Structure 1
Amino acid sequence: MGLAFPASCFLLSVLPACWAGMDQTSSSFASRGPWVQVQRFLVPRYVALGVNVTLECDYVVQQHATLYSLKWYKGNSQFYQYIPSLPQQHAAFSVRGLDQGQVVEGREGRRLDVLGVTLAASDVYRCELVAEGPPFHTTQRSANMTVVVVPKEPPVISGSREYYQQNDHVSLNCTSPLARPALTLTWNINGHQVLPSSVKTVEHLTNPAGLEKLTTHLSLRVTQDYFQDGVMSIACVGRLADLYLKSAEVIIREPSSRWFTPTNLYHTSGSAEVSSTWTMRVIPGVLLLLLINFLP
């Protein structure tokens, strides 16, 4: 004679096994990890106006899953999609600052070439990947890209004199060419950056096209400590991300003869011809005086 169990007891005896089975299934899915993972993601931080830009979103899909879609967004606006299940797998869309004709697809959406970027192309770019397992799993990566205007000319130093006496006040300006954003300007003496207390920004202008020009001012006294092997180099260096690095330089030299030391005169690189002419006029007179002193 078998024992009879109430129905409620039967349910209670079965449900834990059911829940245990569900936990095992869920745990099995979880142990497989994300259905799709980004292996390489590339959005350049700064790009020059008008160049072609490469965006990359390389991925790997696990064996138990399939890729449902890959989509690219500029800001919150979608401009490209790759959906393998659709008859037309690839599609590009025009959004603000980006025309669909500028987008060239490669490697199933893993790489996009954006042709001839404009300033309006600056934005946050996002790659979104969706895989179906089941269930659906979404992975995304994003980065900011800024389109900049890179100048061709170097900065310009102004205010230099032909000669400096020791303890003279050196007052120089450095003006950047037009760029967007403005260049970062730094002053160096003999390759070493000048203390911030000696430099100040005197002008920062923006023209109607949004291009910026910056002028900074260097102020210091000429001392013997500034000279290395008779030369003092003053440079103004302009930088814009990793796309621009140019400089302007002024060379100040010590006198080459002991006859000039009482006057403590120094000249810049632009005054070599003037200095040579002046020397040729003075030396004959000095030699004449020496001859007179040595004559009986």
Structure 2
Amino acid sequence: MFGRTILVLLLLWTQDSVKSLRVVELRVPTHEPEGGMALLGCQYDLQGDTLYNVKWYKDGHEFYRYVPKSDPPVSYFPMAGVNVDIGRSSITAVALVNLTQDSSGNYSCEVNGEAPNFATVIRHKHINIHLLPKSGPHIVGLKEQYHLDELVAANCSLPPSRPKAHLMWFVNDRPAPTSYVSDPWFRVSDERPDAVESILQISFFATPSDFVNGAIKLKCQATIAPLYQKKTESTHYIALPFTEANEITGEEKDIATSTTLKNSLISLLIPIFFLILM
């Protein structure tokens, strides 16, 4: 009876020990650009246990292992898209360099305790690798000057990216009315079948309200959240001649001149009239 009690207590103590080992924080970026680097961090709490090793996996395949009692302690298993900088990696961090599309995936940190408990904990996060465009948005189709009621039409395009970009037109620093903008369209890149060029058209007839101090400013913004946002803007002027609201027409000028002459004649006759009466 006493032996069974000891066995149950040992089992309970072992279960408590297994549960005590935990990963405190897993630092894995969710978005990174192609060609860049990513630093993966794994902070753990042994809770009195002894560390046996730390392993890193991508999509279930081990690529990095740190065993404190081994010499050397680091083992690296190369795989597509996973390029480890050993010099910048340690027991709690792994540095990935030269990221590619193949670097996207699910990354896991596994912490293992020593005998007799052999406790194991594992946590994972996903990394998305973006292909950012080589340049900002490009606007084509605009003229330097526009007459009133003239069609203003232009395309805004962004070089290939992955994922596709969100394009947005602005008129005088305000989002363009929906009636001005067509649905976006996308073209698969010949050089990168995994990437697309994004294109958005704006089209409207110029009205006086579209011009501020005789000029209209058009801007195109490209966004690939959360890594990329760039704008391209250009200013275009209303074509002269342009009659301002405070200008008067030729007919109005004739009326004003006639009125002025009448007023002048009256002002001259009034003194003469008073002299005759005296």
Q: TM-score range by the shorter chain?
A: 0.7 to 0.9
| Conserved 8 A contact 1:96-1:120 | yes
1:121 correspondence with 2:103: yes
| Conserved 8 A contact 1:186-1:238 | yes
Letter in 2 for 1:106: S
Aligned to 2:221: 237
1:138 correspondence with 2:120: yes
User: What pairs up with 1:168-187 in 2 under 5 angstroms?
Assistant: 168-187=150-169
Separation of aligned partners in 2, 1:186 and 1:34: 51
Deviations 1:97-139 (A, max 9, x none): 3356x4445332x111123223322222211112247533322
Aligned to 1:10: none
Q: Structure 1-normalised TM-score?
A: 0.69
The 3 A distance-change label for structure 1 pair 86 and 196 is farther
Q: 2:243 aligns with which of 260, 276, 279?
A: 260
Separation of aligned partners in 2, 1:196 and 1:125: 42
| Conserved 8 A contact 1:157-1:236 | yes
Q: 2:19 aligns with which of 18, 28, 34?
A: 34
User: What pairs up with 1:63-102 in 2 under 5 angstroms?
Assistant: 63=48, 65-99=49-83, 102=85
Q: Structure 2-normalised TM-score?
A: 0.73
| Conserved 8 A contact 2:138-2:158 | yes
The 3 A distance-change label for structure 1 pair 81 and 143 is same
The 3 A distance-change label for structure 1 pair 95 and 107 is closer
* Structure 1 position 169, deviation (Å): 3.1
RMSD: 3.5
* Structure 1 position 230, deviation (Å): 4.7
Aligned to 2:263: none
| Conserved 8 A contact 2:31-2:130 | yes
* Structure 1 position 70, deviation (Å): 0.9
Q: How many residue pairs are counted as aligned between the two chains?
A: 249
* Structure 1 position 87, deviation (Å): 4.1
User: What pairs up with 1:14-53 in 2 under 5 angstroms?
Assistant: 14=1, 18=4, 34-53=19-38
| Conserved 8 A contact 1:103-1:115 | no
Q: 1:247 aligns with which of 214, 227, 231?
A: 231
Separation of aligned partners in 1, 2:166 and 2:114: 48
Separation of aligned partners in 2, 1:31 and 1:158: 67
Separation of aligned partners in 2, 1:33 and 1:194: 59
Letter in 2 for 1:79: F
1:205 correspondence with 2:188: yes
| Conserved 8 A contact 2:66-2:90 | no
| Conserved 8 A contact 1:38-1:139 | yes
DSSP 3-state at the match of 1:34:
helix
* Structure 1 position 59, deviation (Å): 1.7
| Conserved 8 A contact 2:83-2:96 | no
The 3 A distance-change label for structure 1 pair 29 and 196 is farther
State the identity %: 24
The 3 A distance-change label for structure 1 pair 115 and 202 is closer
Deviations 1:47-98 (A, max 9, x none): 23222321111222112x1122211112121110112343442100111233
The 3 A distance-change label for structure 1 pair 196 and 256 is closer
Separation of aligned partners in 1, 2:97 and 2:224: 22
DSSP 3-state at the match of 1:238:
strand
Letter in 2 for 1:141: R
1:223 correspondence with 2:207: yes
